[in-house]
Amino acid sequence: MASGVPEVMNQTNTMYCQATQNLVASVLPPVLIIEMIVGLPTNIVALWIFCFHLKTWKTHTLFLFNLVLADFLLLISVPFRIDNLLREEYWVFGGAWCRINLFMLAVNRSGSIAFMTAVAVDRYFKVVHPYHRINQLTMTQVGWVAGLIWTVVMALRVPLLAIDLLDKRSNNSLCRSFNSYKDPPPVIKLHYAVYIGEFFLPLLLLLFCSVRIFCVLRQRQMGRQKVVRRAIRTVGVIVAVFNICFLPGIVTGLGGMYVKNFRPKDCDSFRLITQLFSLSIGFTYLNSALDPVIYCFSSSIFHDALKSSISRLRGTEMKVRRHSSTANEGSRASE
């Protein structure tokens, strides 16, 4: 896997089967550029809807708003990774920004997973336990919950700021948040554990919520099915986005660990799977472009506000065209 090293460990003998990733440097930049072109405007529109056109806020709406904020951490950080890849992984922005950049990318992943899960759990309680006191939380209390989520997410990723992740060599300067350590330091081991744990624990929660809501869908009478169907559709979309974006990185990451521990002399296989792991970043960063799909499917309030805004824009455009047409006709008549 790929990432940087502390100064005291910047020696070749601390690394295992390390090599440059030429395939990644040639394939990944155009993928990330396309994701930026799609993700930036859609998230700007989403932020505009949340800030200026959403009149009613509910629990899941606040969680979705925080998901937008998490996406902007990614959109700020990715251009530097694109530049790094276009320079064949030569990092030119210094050690401090290397740490901050990798920290922000990691916080985006953790925050996106956390708030996707929070939306799914909120839908679960609304449908399966409609009278539970969790459903009676005020927006202020939900705001505190969101703040707690951010605190936990950042605390788990702070170790990335405490270690030098810039691996300087005679002809290169690598900035990576994973690496092929023979014996990873405790901070890196914690980083690996968080990376794996924050996938499997939320996945179990998401699957549990999906199954329970589906069971309720089968049991409820027709009058309640519309609400339940919307909830199962919401959780289903979240599970799909979750797996599309984060499963490839987990599969290739665990594959790299397997090769390193059980086939330690097979460097060719290890280098191949670490390149696949790095390529999976393209799926991880795709979440910023796919998250707006979650907003539309999981919040009828957001969906209605978006439709209303589009209708107003179309109405304004039609008025401008009519005014222009009328002005032209008047000009011709005067001639």
> Looking at residues 271-298, what average pLDDT do you find?
86
DSSP H or E run through 167: strand 166-168
Long-range contacts of 36-40 (CB under 8 A, 24+ apart): 36/75, 36/78, 36/79, 36/82, 38/289, 39/71, 39/74, 39/75, 39/288, 39/289, 40/75
300-334 and 22-52 helices, crossing angle to 10°: 80
pLDDT tens for each residue of 60-98: 889 999 999 999 988 899 999 999 888 888 899 988 999
Query: In whole angstroms, what is the distance from residue 212 CA to residue 226 CA?
Result: 16
- Taking alpha carbons only, the member of 28, 157, 166, 63 closest to residue 105 is 157
- 6-20, 51-65, 239-253: least confident range: 6-20
- 47-51, 84-88, 216-220, 223-227: least confident range: 223-227
Q: At residue 263, does pLDDT exceed 80? A: yes
Query: In whole angstroms, what is the distance from residue 5 CA to residue 19 CA?
Result: 14
Amino acid at 283: F
Domains of the chain and CATH, by start: 7-307 (1.20.1070.10)
- Taking alpha carbons only, the member of 6, 45, 32 closest to residue 292 is 45
> Looking at residues 153-165, what average pLDDT do you find?
89
> Which is more confident, 319 or 101?
101
Q: At residue 278, does pLDDT exceed 70? A: yes
Phi/psi at 92 (5° precision): -115, 5
Band (pLDDT 50/70/90 cuts) for residue 13 is: very low
Six-digit token string for 22: 């030429």
**Count of C-beta atoms within a 10 Å radius of residue 45:** 15
> Which is more confident, 91 or 305?
91
